[in-house]
Amino acid sequence: MDDRMERFIEKAKELGSHEAKFIDPATVKTAPWVIMKCRYGCGRYNTRLCCPPHTPTYTETREIIDCYKTALLVHCKSWDIVTPIIAKLEKEIFLSGYYKVFGFGSGPCKSCRPCNMVKCIKPQEVRPAMEACGIDVYETVRANGFPIDVVKDFDCEQNCYGLLLID
Ligand code: SF4
């Protein structure tokens, strides 16, 4: 990993994340079952341009991940701050010269109510969630030493994640 990348961890914290860590992209787990949680478990399925079925399949995501040498896993304590942080970090990393950088956020887009479902009007701010692209977030973060548990109610501690692929 390029030593200059270390500053992106500090930037992630400045933007409001709890912590961030560089990981091997090979540890990012993709799986065919993940889409079922969106298709049959989420009322926002097919109501946002950044949600399934408009997102890459798990096999496409795997091919994309395998194009990268490193990744930054970003841990946040609230899901709704993840995607804004990832979008800002992606821009900063891109402008530093890592032209291939691409970020994944968490949860559905909340920007417009409703989404126009034709063409995104805020492409700089919107990134698909890890899970929306077939990434098994639980297995990925546990493999990299971060906490995550099933959230049973709104009082439970939240451990939410975003991911940046960097090369
Ligand atoms: S920013 Fe608006 S148009 Fe773009 S995905 Fe989100 S809700 Fe849809």
104-156 residue pLDDT tens: 999 999 889 899 999 999 999 999 999 999 999 999 999 999 999 999 988 88
Does ligand 1 come within 6 angstroms of the Cβ of 110? Answer: no
**Ligand 1 closest atom vs CA 123:** 4
52-94 residue pLDDT tens: 999 999 999 999 999 999 999 999 999 999 999 999 999 999 9
Does ligand 1 come within 6 angstroms of the Cβ of 109? Answer: yes
**Ligand 1 closest atom vs CA 119:** 3
pLDDT for position 93: 97
Q: What are phi and psi of 28, to 5 degrees?
A: -80, 120
For residues 167 and 24, what is the distance between their CA atoms, to the nearest angstrom?
A: 12
pLDDT for position 159: 97
Structure tokens at 54: 């408009």
Our count of domains for the chain comes to: 1
pLDDT for position 15: 98
Query: Domain range holding 10?
Result: 3-166
Give the model's confidence band at 1: pLDDT under 50 very low, under 70 low, under 90 confident, else very high.
low
* 4 Cα to the center of ligand 1, angstroms: 33
Helix ranges (DSSP H) in the chain:
6-14, 34-39, 58-65, 82-95, 137-143
